[in-house]
Amino acid sequence: MIEADQLIPRPVRRELRANPFERGAELGTAVGDLSAFMMTYKFGLDEVLTKVGILREEFTFTHDVNPIEHVKSRLKSPASIAEKVLRKGYGLQPESIRRHLLDIAGVRITCSFISDVYRVADMLTRQQDVKVIRTRDYIRDPKPNGYQSLHLILEIPVFLSDRVELVPVEVQIRTAAMDFWAGLEHKINYKYHGDIPAGLMEELQEAATVAGNLDRKMERLRTELGQRDVVERR
């Protein structure tokens, strides 16, 4: 059994102490059901990683170029889940968490080119047992700070011994340049606790523009190279 102190971070524990009767029952239910609840998200994550792994191996064996460069995955910690749902005013019951949090399980795929990002997304979303719940294209419409990535929420069936669970998994697909920028922005944001100085923010936005220009230039070079190969084969 997981203790409440392990499940809830210190700021949220203070709220629980301030509202013991309001949150106590919810916390007990959340702790008791946590293992089974998190298990389904791990299995959903495993299913997506298997799908990506199969595509990656197929391209390794049957194609000259593999659009998938790197793959990372993560499962939110119980403390992170509890903090987020309480901060947003949701209940701690598994059903409430399942309804409101769609990013508990996540996969990040890094590609070399922008066209590969959409190619990989298409290969995943065309699979018959995958349902697209939400798409947010921050490549087409970058965030104000310059962030670029393609975000998909996919609903994945997990076949258990006595039932089928439909599990949401967030898939982020981006280029190597986008990933490098996002990693740097995350570190800076963490260092300044979300209050990034204006001058530094401007530099980050400029760096995002440079990264985007690099991606587009590399895409043009690859297209030109492909056209030359076609001409040479004639």
Predicted confidence (pLDDT) per residue in 172-198, tens digit: 999 999 999 999 999 998 899 889 999
The verdict on residue 234 lying in a domain is no
Across the range 195-222, mean pLDDT stands at 93
Given a cut of 90, whether residue 81 has pLDDT beyond it is no
pLDDT bucket at 17, cuts 50 / 70 / 90: low
The verdict on residue 60 lying in a domain is yes
Contact 5, 13 (CB under 8 A): yes
Across the range 122-139, mean pLDDT stands at 97
The verdict on residue 198 lying in a domain is no
Token pair belonging to 37: 């609840």
Across the range 109-138, mean pLDDT stands at 97
**Range list of H helices, 88-197:** 94-100, 114-125, 176-191
The verdict on residue 32 lying in a domain is yes
Contact 87, 193 (CB under 8 A): no
Given a cut of 70, whether residue 34 has pLDDT beyond it is no
Of all residues in the chain, the percent with pLDDT exceeding 70 is 82
pLDDT bucket at 159, cuts 50 / 70 / 90: very high
Across the range 12-36, mean pLDDT stands at 53
Q: Is 170 known to be catalytic? A: yes
The verdict on residue 207 lying in a domain is no
Quick one: pLDDT at residue 57? 94
Least confident of 24-28, 47-51, 114-118, 196-200: 24-28
pLDDT bucket at 229, cuts 50 / 70 / 90: low
Quick one: pLDDT at residue 82? 81
Q: How many domains does the chain have?
A: 1
Across the range 202-218, mean pLDDT stands at 93
The verdict on residue 53 lying in a domain is yes
Buried b (16+ CB within 10 A) or exposed e, 88-103: eeebbbbeebbeebbe
Enter the pTM of the model: 0.82
CATH code (residue 139): 3.30.460.10
Please, which residues bridge with residue 108 across strands?
A: 72, 172
Catalytic-role residue among 47, 83, 170, 185: 170
Token pair belonging to 36: 């089974």
Mean pLDDT of all residues in the chain? 85
The boundaries of the domain holding residue 37 are 4-178
Count how many Cα atoms sit within 13 Å of the Cα of residue 68 in the half-sphere of its side chain: 24
Given a cut of 70, whether residue 19 has pLDDT beyond it is no
pLDDT bucket at 152, cuts 50 / 70 / 90: very high
Run of H or E residues at 158: strand 150-159
Given a cut of 80, whether residue 30 has pLDDT beyond it is no
Quick one: pLDDT at residue 7? 47
By three-state DSSP, how is residue 196 classified? Answer: coil
The verdict on residue 193 lying in a domain is no
pLDDT bucket at 3, cuts 50 / 70 / 90: very low
How far is 63 from 205, CA to CA, in rounded Å? Answer: 36
